[in-house]
């Protein structure tokens, strides 16, 4: 009990995602672009001032056809914002939600590889997790 209490006082949140998926819902492009840019600024500030969770990132919209382009755009705006603020934090983790086909993961890997290459980052620098949902 004492160890749990001490842990919660020292580090109450270990892993945090800013949600651009279901919890955020559909928005006009300009609004979501600004929100993704703001998320990047806030994450950068949190790491800079020591208040960040050890692992932080976003949960983008999924790779299904209807929202794929929006999810890719949000991811790009967020990552570009982090780069402009000084680089990617060590604890950065992205969440690829609602994966229904292996090809969606492959496409996301290719997207991240292209971003890494374009920004001179080491291959595999951007970590991500997949979220599989079934009905």
The pTM for the full model equals: 0.91
Q: Any bridge partners for residue 17, and if so which?
A: 57
Q: Rounded distance, CA 92 to CA 83, Å?
A: 12
Phi-psi region of 120 (alpha: psi -120 to 50; beta: other; left: phi over 0): left
The predicted pLDDT at position 6 comes to: 87
Q: How confident is the model at residue 14 (pLDDT cuts 50, 70, 90)?
A: confident
Task: Report the alpha-carbon distance of residue 77 to residue 6 in Å, rounded.
Answer: 37
Give the pLDDT confidence score for residue 135 in this predicted structure. 63
Measured distance CA(81)–CA(75) in Å, rounded: 10
The pLDDT value recorded for residue 67 is 95
């Amino acid at each position: 009990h004492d160890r749990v209490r001490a842990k919660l006082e020292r580090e109450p949140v270990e892993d945090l995602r800013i949600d651009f998926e279901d919890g955020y819902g559909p928005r006009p492009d300009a609004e979501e672009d600004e929100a993704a840019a703001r998320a990047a600024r806030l994450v950068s500030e949190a790491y800079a001032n020591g208040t960040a969770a050890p692992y932080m990132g976003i949960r983008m919209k999924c790779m299904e056809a209807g929202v794929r382009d929006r999810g890719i755009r949000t991811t790009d705006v967020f990552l570009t914002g982090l780069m402009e603020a000084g680089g990617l934090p060590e604890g950065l983790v992205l969440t690829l939600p609602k994966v229904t086909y292996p090809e969606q993961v492959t496409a996301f890997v290719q997207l991240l590889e292209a971003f890494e290459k374009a920004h001179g980052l080491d291959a595999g620098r951007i970590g991500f997790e997949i979220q599989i949902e079934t009905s």
